[in-house]
Amino acid sequence: MRRPITAMLLFTLCPCAAYAHAAEQGFVLLLPTDIYIAAGAASVALTVILMAILPPGAADRLFATRAILRRAPVKGRHAVSLLVTLLLVTLVWQGLAGPRDPLRNPLPLSVWSVWWIGLVSLQGLLGNHWRWTNPWTGLGAGLHRLTGLRAPLRYPRVLGHWPAVLGFLAFAGFLLADIAPTDPARLALAVGLYWYAMLLGLVLFGPAWMVRAEAITVAMRAYARMGALGRRRGRLALGLPGWQILARPSPPLALAVLMVILLGTGSFDGLNETFWWMGVLGLNPLEFPGRSAVTGANLTGLLIANAALLAIFAGALWLGERLAGTHRPVLTAMRLFAPSILPIALGYHVAHYLTAALVEGQYVLRALDDPLGRGWHLLGLTDFYVTTGFFNTPHTVRTIWLAQAGAVVLGHVVAILLAHAIAIRDGAETRRAVLGQAPLALFMIAYTVFGLWLLASPRGL
């Protein structure tokens, strides 16, 4: 039978996947989301107004840090990285030899649920764990120490971070448009080959390769700027997420572009599931024909969404420079303000994947209980069944939705604060900073509405 009904029940492993669920989406449609969206947008607008009337240093002070540890450099990160490499090799082997079911195989669960949802969020919320969990650096350092050889080639400076931009777009294309990104064997090949290619780059070009060309590391380091924890004057410091952005010089242009693309990709990840997008493609949202039918469309959409976001963002900055009379070149403004996009991207990442995390977290637990599919119960989960029951009652659905909306709104509020603090730090007095930011602030308020609309929209995927 045509089972479109299940359009309402879907929940899938993360790529392509809001864990939409019949009842969940049904209950969301019954929530007064219009009011919630208006309230969210109003909170962001209020932040803008507060920034205009409060004294110039107010935003800056919010990002003040507190040193929590006088920290001698902790050793052992290469050892941890080597362990992660070992784990990755095991996972790739399991991807090729383990269970074929992506919800039982540890590789897709580790890549899409643990890393892409969990570790990326942690990197942004907490701080740079990628220094330790990067699967290349330990091996790279080890090889260097063993052979005593230096990288034979010099990384071409002219390339800057652009290889990472291309690499991230390729990753996003795999996530959003590949026919089967969760298929264990397919993913094992992709992960294995990518890991090997990047290791080769590291050996040939040295660490510059990691921090300029390797897309995952570059994206992770970008998100690390959002972390509440970070190093400041040799100490471990804690502050409002975003403080590290203010503490650092503005990024080079390619890295600034990547920061915008993090948001553009996340937004398209949400958009491509909506009834609206299905309508654009002329597809019946209740009878989604499968990813193989939308590969080209999703790739095109991904590129258009990112290009459009870059254009709108640059346009808002250009207008702001005119209004404030500061007349910085738009590319300079882009480098200056792109990091203020990061909290929006992070907020949406958390919001978009929250439902998936609730379900996939259970599959991860089940896989930890029996990592090699041998019928073990290492965690003692003998009668453990994955549940989606929390999508089935109105109050849990409302709680989940409001948590998602909260993440989106908070992201935008922090973005407004950051943008304002950046402008003041760059020497503008309050009036100019506010004037110059008016277009950017309008953009962020509009983006709040857009982000919340994405969460409230019926989805056909």
Partner 1 sequence: MTLKTTRRGALTTLAGAAGAASLPLWARYAQAQTSEPIRIGFQQHATGIGAAYGRWYGRTTDAAAKLINDNGGINGRMVEIVAEDDGTDPKRGAEVLEKFANQHGCDVGFGTLFSHVVIGSAPRAGELKLPYFVVSEGHHVASGMLNRYTLQPGITDVKSQVQAMAPYVAENLGKKVTMVFPDFAFGHDHRDFFTAAIEAQGGEVLEHIAIPPSETSFTKYFPKIPRETEVLYHVMVGPAVLTFVKELGEFFGPSRPEMFGFIDSLEAVDLASPGLDYLDGTYFWEGNPRHAQEDQSEYDKAFRAAVGVNERGASISDPSDVSTYAHMFGCWETLHVIKAGMEAAGYAGPNDRAALIEAVEAMTDMPESLAHPQGAKIFNGKTHQVFGHQYISRVENGNLVKVHTTSIEDTLYPDEVDYTTQSF
| Cβ contact 403:353 at 8 Å | no
Q: Which residue has the tokens 């996972």?
A: 91
* Rounded Cα distance, 227 and 220, in Å: 11
- What totals of helices (H) and strands (E) does the chain contain, helices first? 20, 3
Q: Which residue has the tokens 């009011």?
A: 35
Cα distances (angstroms) measured from residue 57 to each of 233, 237, 247, 442:
21, 20, 15, 22
User: Is the Cβ of residue 107 or residue 418 nearer to partner 1 in the bound state?
Assistant: 107
Pick the binder of partner 1 from 79, 170, 179, 200 (CB under 8 A): 179
Footprint of partner 1 on residues 70-129 (CB under 8 A)? 99-104
Pick the binder of partner 1 from 18, 23, 120, 263 (CB under 8 A): 23
Residue 361 near partner 1 by CB under 8 A: no
Residue 386 near partner 1 by CB under 8 A: yes
| Cβ contact 15:113 at 8 Å | no
User: Is the Cβ of residue 87 or residue 286 nearer to partner 1 in the bound state?
Assistant: 286
Pick the binder of partner 1 from 43, 90, 284, 332 (CB under 8 A): 284
User: Is the Cβ of residue 15 or residue 264 nearer to partner 1 in the bound state?
Assistant: 15
For 91-107, the DSSP string reads HHHHHHHS-S-TTTSHH
CA atoms lying within 13 Å on the CB side of residue 228: 9
User: Is the Cβ of residue 8 or residue 67 nearer to partner 1 in the bound state?
Assistant: 8
The set of residues, in sequence order, having a beta carbon less than 8 Å from that of 389 and lying 6+ positions away, is: none
The length of the chain is 461
Residue 304 near partner 1 by CB under 8 A: no
The per-residue b/e assignment along 316-344, b for 16 or more CB within 10 angstroms, e otherwise, is bbbbbbeebebebebebbbbbbbbbbbbb
Residue 32 near partner 1 by CB under 8 A: no
Q: Which residue has the tokens 């998602």?
A: 404
* Rounded Cα distance, 112 and 283, in Å: 27
User: Is the Cβ of residue 152 or residue 290 nearer to partner 1 in the bound state?
Assistant: 290
User: Is the Cβ of residue 305 or residue 397 nearer to partner 1 in the bound state?
Assistant: 397
User: Is the Cβ of residue 332 or residue 396 nearer to partner 1 in the bound state?
Assistant: 396
The distance of closest approach from Cβ of residue 286 to partner 1 in the complex, given in angstroms and rounded to an integer, is 4
Footprint of partner 1 on residues 247-276 (CB under 8 A)? 275
Pick the binder of partner 1 from 94, 183, 219, 339 (CB under 8 A): 183
Nearest Cα to Cα of residue 59 among 361, 422, 410: 422
Sign of CA dihedral 29, 32, 35, 41: negative
CA atoms lying within 13 Å on the CB side of residue 364: 18
The distance of closest approach from Cβ of residue 393 to partner 1 in the complex, given in angstroms and rounded to an integer, is 6
Q: Which residue has the tokens 């640059």?
A: 314
Per-residue x/- mask for partner 1, residues 158 to 177, rule CB under 8 A? --------------------
| Cβ contact 16:273 at 8 Å | yes
The distance of closest approach from Cβ of residue 382 to partner 1 in the complex, given in angstroms and rounded to an integer, is 11
Window contacting partner 1 (CB under 8 A); options: 80-88, 125-133, 178-186, 440-448: 178-186
Residue 34 near partner 1 by CB under 8 A: no
Sign of CA dihedral 122, 353, 417, 42: negative
Footprint of partner 1 on residues 442-461 (CB under 8 A)? 458-461
Residue 146 near partner 1 by CB under 8 A: no
Residue 5 near partner 1 by CB under 8 A: yes
Residue 415 near partner 1 by CB under 8 A: no
Pick the binder of partner 1 from 157, 292, 327, 427 (CB under 8 A): 292
Nearest Cα to Cα of residue 195 among 140, 158, 156: 140
User: Is the Cβ of residue 74 or residue 179 nearer to partner 1 in the bound state?
Assistant: 179
Residue 401 near partner 1 by CB under 8 A: no
Residue 2 near partner 1 by CB under 8 A: yes
The distance of closest approach from Cβ of residue 95 to partner 1 in the complex, given in angstroms and rounded to an integer, is 13
Residues that bind partner 1 (CB under 8 A): 1-13, 15-17, 20-23, 25-30, 99-104, 179-180, 182-183, 275, 278-279, 284-293, 383-390, 392-394, 396, 458-461
